[in-house]
Structure 1
Amino acid sequence: MIVNVFSIGSAPPNAIAEAAEPYGGCTFVVEPDDAAALASVPVLQELGEVVVADGVDACVRALAGRVPAGVVTFADRGLRLSAGLARHYGLPGLSEKAAEWCCDKIAQRERLNACGVGDVPTAPLRGGVYPAEVPMPAVVKPREGAGSEDTAFVHSAEEFRDLMTQLSPDRPYVVERYIEGVDTPFGPLLTDSVSVESAVDARGAVRHIGVTLRLPLAPPARDTGLVFPVHRDSPLTGTLLELAAAAIAAVDFTAGITHIEFKLGPDGPVVIEVNGRLGGGLYRLMPRVGTVEPVGLATALAVGEPLPDAFAEPTGHAMHYYAQPPYGAVAVSALPSPRTVRGVPGVFGADPRTRAGAPVHWRQGSAGRVYDIWIAADTLAELDQRRAAVDELLEQTTEWEYER
């Protein structure tokens, strides 16, 4: 069996369960303080066994002497527990120190800076006082978290004071120097943020799956989607892959898939974050362009299987497009039907994430989007045209409510 430390993350339960079938099925581990995962338990029970347990010892007791073939997670929240379980059972996976570096943005930045993989001033936010060692402009974000949740830019002391009135007073945050971006060579629809998707096997082999491109942010700092892949014939791509390999080595990443985020700055690409799991949306984009099925790959790596000699060359491009609420909206009052959205040329999936009348807020980051829309095309230019057609439809059919 495969043990999956489950939380809401970058792969859905059905894909996780399907990848586990060749290894005897899936046992989902849910931590008792993870409300979102607990709400998914009825779905998980249809796909495999569910264990609700907190910590390695409790999980081992719940498994009642059974030894998993592998341990895997697709959520940041699950990294520490999955690392502890892999160590207990002697299975491939992250070390507990590597899991800590991947989860804690301060610890990770200190490690990357110490290893010469970037030099970005970063400091914890204490008592709502701006840290003097980080020059403005800066990014304020949770010390642990994903998907641009609770993330915003500040350019002045006044903006910082205003932001402090909106953030959770009991949540740890970090302040990191903002890196000015440059024009991307990859196309007009894309922004100066990219990520490299890589796979590492238990023998230490590293193979890069591809480079993912990001769409421009929605205010204040929310992702609006990603495009996979960029073709590898760009000199910049070679630099990104070299930096990704250095970052993987710096955090001692062993066995699994990494999602490493970069900002394209005036002095070249800068590593922003190393994530110890598959990037969001890629479970559906990678197979669409014929590269690899990443949930199955991550599961195979967790049981100790070696990397394939090569990944297939991609055919075309695919986009995971986030329909984000406007900044300041408090509710969505009307949404188009999935059938209507799928009527736009190139759309191969349309998944509403909420219902008409539901509240929305920018602080939810990527998770606050109201629709997941999946688009494919042969070229980036054609993909942009199809995304523009989706935008036009959303403009005509989506309605928002604002504070009065």
Structure 2
Amino acid sequence: MTKTLVVVYDDGAAHPGDIAVGLAGWAGCVFVVPPNRHTLAMAPLLARFGPVVVAESVSDAAAEVGRHRPDGLVTYAERGLGLAGELAGLLGLPFHDERTLRCLTDKWHQRAALRAAGVDVVRCRRIETAADWPDAVAETGLPAVLKPAHGGGSRNTYYVEDAETGLELVRRLLAEPAPGLVDGGTLVLEEYLPGRDCGAFGDYVSIESVVQDGVIADLAVTGKFPMVPPFRETGRFWPSPLGPVETAEVRELAAAAVSAVGLRTGLSHTEVKLTPAGPRLIEVNGRLGGGINELAVRARGINLVEAGGRIALGERVVVPDLYTGRAYFQVFHPAPRRAGTLVGIEGAEYVRDLAGVTLYRPYARPGTQFPGGVQTVELDIVMGETADVADLAPIVAKVESTLRYRFEFPAGEQHTVAAAELGAW
């Protein structure tokens, strides 16, 4: 008999098409979506694979979902965790408990839990009003990282070097209805962790894990390409470039962090900074990491959307050993920090023909307007594979020098920008 799975969908780590591939063939899906522009646009696509409930009211949504007699509940998006927790409580379905959910969705509570468990001590201070700023700076020192307590996708995340600029940012962000992912969210100021020189690669990694009844199994350590200012990602790859000793260190740190926040069941995506003094925790995420399912399918033939769904339904999932094979990569290009309109993309046909590239996919068409800002908004993605991680840098360098983007900025100002230069705009 087919079990019914509640899927709380929002903009995040899994597209409706990926969810359909992972779940539709074996589970009966009921989708619950908050009423926002993205989810309402995706609702017709989701409806092809199961009923869609728009959660104007959480209690009304729970009552409607309850009529389908659900057996489990899952979400693959950071934005969906809060709603998923509320629904699970009303429906009596297994999910993260209240403490764990608070640690996973509030960065200040997460830092407090990590500190209490002795896992990692990063100086951090919560900021609810501008009056909290002087004490926060005294706690963390400068430079520091200012970001929403409930955040994601590098939205409103800033590198702060001087107190005056930081205070102006605090005032502006707290004046917004939702500086992060929730209305009225507060801010945190965190100690800045300087990274070590990692050459062509980024100075951080993520650990992708499957957690079942408190037992943590790592599927892969994900390598990263360098960020562009202030904290915007540009790509990821399997396996990471770390040696055996450092791989063991980051895995041990990630496992301790997952346990410290109380995550006992589901998928986790833990980010770790590579500093001159050793690995340090960036954050623990209790959901699928962005782009990770695609790497898992290509590299290991395992669908993590399916794995997350089966775990939510109480099934056991077999997790293969830590990935160490061929190098599979994704490179993407963030839109400029300046507001503007994409006029065109040049060089795509040449990138598609590069050795090692298997796919080039634009996400934005000419005429697309971008609001600007520090959040990561992807223009496109380049995927590929090669025999070894050491072969990645030359391929990515060719991609970055070949792709060029033409933007029109306010007052009719137009510029053509190479992929390698996008981070400066």
> Do the aligned partners of 2:334 and 2:378 also contact (CA within 8 Å) in 1?
yes
In 2, distance between residues paired with 1:309 and 1:105? 29
**Deviation digits for residues 275-319 of structure 1 (CA, Å, limit 9, x no counterpart):** 010110111112212263211111111111223163474431122
CA displacement at 1:168 relative to structure 2: 6.1
SS at match of 1:196: strand
SS at match of 1:374: strand
In 2, distance between residues paired with 1:233 and 1:364? 32
> Do the aligned partners of 1:290 and 1:312 also contact (CA within 8 Å) in 2?
no
Instruction: Tell me whether 1:209 sits opposite 2:212 in the alignment.
Output: no
Q: Pick from 200, 203, 208: which aligns with 1:197?
A: 208
**Deviation digits for residues 233-270 of structure 1 (CA, Å, limit 9, x no counterpart):** 52011011111111111111021110011111232211
In 2, distance between residues paired with 1:387 and 1:360? 25
Q: Pick from 331, 335, 339: which aligns with 1:325?
A: 335
**Deviation digits for residues 148-202 of structure 1 (CA, Å, limit 9, x no counterpart):** 1111101112442564576462233221110111123xxx22121111111111x
Q: Which residue matches 1:151?
A: 157
Q: Describe the shift of the 1:297–1:226 C-alpha distance in structure 2 as closer, same or farther (beyond 3 A).
A: same
In 1, distance between residues paired with 2:248 and 2:63? 47
> Do the aligned partners of 1:6 and 1:37 also contact (CA within 8 Å) in 2?
yes
Q: Which residue matches 1:225?
A: 235
Q: Which residue matches 2:8?
A: 5
**Deviation digits for residues 127-167 of structure 1 (CA, Å, limit 9, x no counterpart):** 34532322111011111121111111011124425645764
Q: Describe the shift of the 1:232–1:176 C-alpha distance in structure 2 as closer, same or farther (beyond 3 A).
A: closer
SS at match of 1:401: strand
SS at match of 1:222: coil
Q: Pick from 379, 383, 387: which aligns with 2:396?
A: 387
Q: TM-score by structure 2 length?
A: 0.86
Q: Which residue matches 1:101?
A: 103
> Do the aligned partners of 1:195 and 1:261 also contact (CA within 8 Å) in 2?
yes
Instruction: Tell me whether 1:279 sits opposite 2:289 in the alignment.
Output: yes
In 1, distance between residues paired with 2:303 and 2:257? 24
After the TM superposition, which residues 131-146 of structure 1 pair with which residues of structure 2 at under 5 Å, given as runs? Answer: 131=136, 132-146=138-152
Q: Describe the shift of the 1:361–1:264 C-alpha distance in structure 2 as closer, same or farther (beyond 3 A).
A: farther
The residue type paired with residue 360 of structure 1 is F
Q: Describe the shift of the 1:194–1:55 C-alpha distance in structure 2 as closer, same or farther (beyond 3 A).
A: farther
What is the aligned-residue identity percentage?
A: 33
> Do the aligned partners of 2:73 and 2:84 also contact (CA within 8 Å) in 1?
yes
SS at match of 2:12: coil
Structure 1 range deviating more: 72-81 or 227-236: 227-236
Instruction: Tell me whether 1:269 sits opposite 2:275 in the alignment.
Output: no
Q: Which residue matches 1:235?
A: 245
Q: Which residue matches 1:30?
A: 33
> Do the aligned partners of 2:239 and 2:325 also contact (CA within 8 Å) in 1?
no
In 1, distance between residues paired with 2:294 and 2:349? 19
After the TM superposition, which residues 2-401 of structure 1 pair with which residues of structure 2 at under 5 Å, given as runs? Answer: 2-32=5-35, 34-54=36-56, 56-128=58-130, 130=133, 131=136, 132-161=138-167, 163-164=169-170, 167=173, 169-170=175-176, 171=179, 172-184=186-198, 188-201=199-212, 203-230=213-240, 233-290=243-300, 292-308=302-318, 310-311=320-321, 313-328=323-338, 330-336=340-346, 341-363=351-373, 365-366=375-376, 368-395=377-404, 398-401=405-408
In 2, distance between residues paired with 1:199 and 1:309? 7
In 2, distance between residues paired with 1:360 and 1:309? 40
Structure 1 range deviating more: 355-364 or 142-151: 355-364
SS at match of 1:199: strand
In 1, distance between residues paired with 2:94 and 2:347? 43
> Do the aligned partners of 1:2 and 1:23 also contact (CA within 8 Å) in 2?
no
SS at match of 2:364: coil
CA displacement at 1:124 relative to structure 2: 2.3
In 2, distance between residues paired with 1:46 and 1:267? 51
> Do the aligned partners of 1:148 and 1:365 also contact (CA within 8 Å) in 2?
yes
In 2, distance between residues paired with 1:64 and 1:151? 38
In 2, distance between residues paired with 1:162 and 1:357? 33
Structure 2: tracts of 5 or more residues without a match: 180-185, 412-425
Number of equivalences: 396
Structure 1: tracts of 5 or more residues without a match: none
> Do the aligned partners of 2:326 and 2:385 also contact (CA within 8 Å) in 1?
yes
**Deviation digits for residues 292-349 of structure 1 (CA, Å, limit 9, x no counterpart):** 3211111111111223163474431122212123443633221248655433332223
SS at match of 2:20: helix
> Do the aligned partners of 2:11 and 2:38 also contact (CA within 8 Å) in 1?
yes
> Do the aligned partners of 2:62 and 2:91 also contact (CA within 8 Å) in 1?
no
> Do the aligned partners of 1:329 and 1:400 also contact (CA within 8 Å) in 2?
no
Q: TM-score by structure 1 length?
A: 0.90
**How much is the aligned-residue C-alpha RMSD, in angstroms?**
2.4
SS at match of 1:195: strand
Structure 1 range deviating more: 370-379 or 20-29: 20-29
